[in-house]
Amino acid sequence: MTQDWQELTKLTRGEAFTIERVKMVDRDISIEGSFALPPLAKLTAEDQLFVTAFVRSHGSIKEMEALFGISYPTVKNRLNAISAQLPFVEVNPPSPGKDVLDELDKGEISVEEALKRLKG
């Protein structure tokens, strides 16, 4: 049986769409609204398969070469093409108020000013 995400990708043929209803599989809970797909789900089925294989091979380009029967430059080019479709993810985004606390710690602002800024 084909996985559901592959079937959905084939049905939509790369056209943009939104999800309007989500149902929990083992519960009697449904959520309705307009939900955008995560970036990885917007990739073609082939690109999703390639990313899945890359993660399962722990990022080993040598393993990808053997698995897909392609060369090192082809693996790199494919990864570059896929990564160009994905937004950059900031791993350690600054926390709200961090700058204010840094300024307070350095004595650049007063406690009252820090509280005022943190309250918004």
**pLDDT band at 1, cuts 50/70/90?**
very low
The type of residue at 3 is Q
How high is the pLDDT of residue 50? 97
- The structural domains of the chain, ordered by start, are 4-84 (1.10.10), 94-120 (no CATH)
Which pLDDT does position 49 carry in this prediction?
Answer: 93
Q: What per-residue confidence (pLDDT) applies to 2?
A: 46
pLDDT at 61: 97
**52 compared with 8, residue with greater pLDDT:** 52
Q: How far is CA 88 from the centre of its chain?
A: 9
Q: pLDDT tens digits, residue range 62-99?
A: 999 999 999 999 999 999 999 999 998 777 766 667 78
